[in-house]
Amino acid sequence: MTHDSSSDASKAASLLSARLDAMISGQLKVPVTDGPFFVLLAMASCLADMVRPVLDDCDSAAKVLQRAEPNGYVLTKCAKRNGRTLPPRTYVSDFPDGPVRSFAYVDVNERGIVEYVAGAVADKTRGLVGLGGIEHSIEKKDAQVLRDAFKALGVGSHIVVLAALLGTQGAFVTWRGTASEKTGELDAPYVKIPPLRFAAPAALKATDLNRLVRDLWDKVTEQAR
């Protein structure tokens, strides 16, 4: 699949925004550990209108995504967690193995939307101090995993990516100002930045994805006043 248009990209952005709104309202594939958590949603624009991916391709893409390590957390291949069957094409972190909540998960839905979620991004004593763990994961292997996942989906069109931080209401933030360290608190349940369009799956490079992550962090510090 290679055909797409700017209208397709707009539709993909709308679908990603709708999915993010659902996540904000609590509709996660699996519960995530308490505290702020990072969300990256991505979709090939050619799948946003009438075209639907083959479910076998979605299965293959999800199996590729299982190799990711969001915020450094290894994802298990198990289809069950604590005796409960996971949603189709969803892989969760190995730990914690006691509670139902997970540190991270990935998912590919039947529309071909890729969901990459990482919790435990805040420091226990200083709150949010950056998204370095996310950047490191993307640089180490996850950018390549995302490229491979879209290859498994069989798409060659633009990829629309949306990044956000959820569960941020009341989160304490510490960041480096021009002259000294600054602190603040977030008074919103989420922070997000506008969707970004990449020319093709091959364009999902670590440097560019991490630029998006840094833009999100800049938005966090801007709102933490």
Question: Tens of pLDDT along 40-74?
Answer: 999 999 898 767 899 999 999 999 999 999 999 99
For residues 38 and 135, give the distance between their C-alpha atoms in angstroms, rounded to a whole number.
11
Tens digit of each residue's pLDDT (9 = 90 or more) over 156-193? 889 999 999 999 999 999 998 766 788 899 999 999 99
Cα–Cα dist 60/63, whole Å: 5
pLDDT at 21 over 70: yes
- Count helices and strands (H / E) in the chain: 5, 11
Structure letter (DSSP) for residue 102: B
| The predicted structure's pLDDT at residue 6 | 72
What does the domain layout of the chain look like in residue ranges?
6-223
pTM of the predicted model as reported, rounded to 2 decimal places:
0.93
